[in-house]
Structure 1
Amino acid sequence: MIEWKPLGTGARPVPQPVATPLVWAGAGVGALVLVAVVNTVVGPDRPELALSALSVLAALLGLCARFKAAPGTALLCWLFLNGFAIPPVGTLTWAGDRDTTWLACLLTAALIGTALARLVHARAAYRRLAPGRPRPGTGEGPFDP
Structure 2
Amino acid sequence: MEWWHMVDGARPVPDPVATSFVWTAAYAGAFGLVSVFDLLGVLDHTRLALAALAVFAALLGVRGRFAAAPGTALVCWGILNVFATHPIGEISWAGHRDPEWIACLLAAALIGTVVGRIRHARAAYRRITPFTDVD
CA 1:134/1:45 → structure 2, altered by over 3 Å: closer, same or farther? same
Q: CA deviation at 1:134?
A: 5.2
Amino acid at match of 2:44: D
Gaps in structure 1 of 5+ consecutive residues: 1-7, 141-145
Distance in 2 between the 1:51 and 1:43 partners?
A: 12
Aligned to 1:46: 45
Q: Percent identity?
A: 58
Q: CA deviation at 1:9?
A: 2.3
Distance in 1 between the 2:61 and 2:127 partners?
A: 24
Q: CA deviation at 1:35?
A: 0.4
Q: CA deviation at 1:91?
A: 1.1
Q: CA deviation at 1:11?
A: 0.9
CA 1:134/1:11 → structure 2, altered by over 3 Å: closer, same or farther? closer
Structural mapping, 1:39-118, within 5 Å: 39-118=38-117
CA 1:134/1:105 → structure 2, altered by over 3 Å: closer, same or farther? same
Gaps in structure 2 of 5+ consecutive residues: 1-6
Aligned to 2:32: 33
Q: Which has the larger radius of gyration?
A: 1
Aligned to 1:143: none
Amino acid at match of 2:69: A
Q: CA deviation at 1:128?
A: 2.8
Larger relative contact order (C-alpha < 8 A, sep ≥ 6)? 2
Corresponding residue pairs, total: 128
Equivalent residues of 1:35, 1:81 under 8 A apart: yes
Aligned to 1:13: 12
Distance in 2 between the 1:106 and 1:33 partners?
A: 17
Amino acid at match of 1:55: A
Aligned to 2:4: none
Aligned to 2:21: 22
> Cα RMSD (Å) of the superposition?
1.8
Distance in 2 between the 1:30 and 1:10 partners?
A: 38
Q: CA deviation at 1:121?
A: 1.1
Could you tell me the TM-score, scaled by structure 2's length?
A: 0.87
